[in-house]
Amino acid sequence: MIDALLLRAREKGTDEEFRAWVQKQPSCISARFSEWLDDIGEWRNPACHVRRAGKSGTAYKEPYACIPLTHEEHRIQHDRGEAACLNRFLGGEWSSDVASDWFDEQRLHYLRMWVDL
């Protein structure tokens, strides 16, 4: 399933085009944006990578594997982990496994949205 989706994504456009589109989406956690860019008149968020979504590692990020988060959400995700991020911003007691699944689902959700535009 993911292979077919990635093929469709590559046919639609580049990873750079996908990341640019993701940056224009509200956060998948809070539905907020991080910053307003006066020069282009748009709200933006970072396109944050879901690291286990393929062959990720130091200085390498899998293509078509990012989601929109605010700067603060991304900082917590990066510094403290996905479960800590969801516990802080969505509440509850997210385990690492459940949080990983949630982030993976978000990655696929945004990729499907972009492919189906």
Domain boundaries, the chain: 2-115
At residue 117, the pLDDT reads 85
Q: What residues contact 85, with CB distance under 8 A and at least 6 apart?
A: 29, 73, 76, 77, 99
Strand duo 42-44 + 35-37: pairing: antiparallel
At residue 51, the pLDDT reads 74
CA dihedral (7, 10, 15, 21) positive or negative: negative
- Model pLDDT for residues 5-36, shown as the tens digit of each residue: 999 999 999 999 999 999 999 999 999 999 99
9: tokens are 């994504």
- Model pLDDT for residues 33-78, shown as the tens digit of each residue: 999 999 999 999 999 999 765 555 566 678 999 999 999 999 999 9
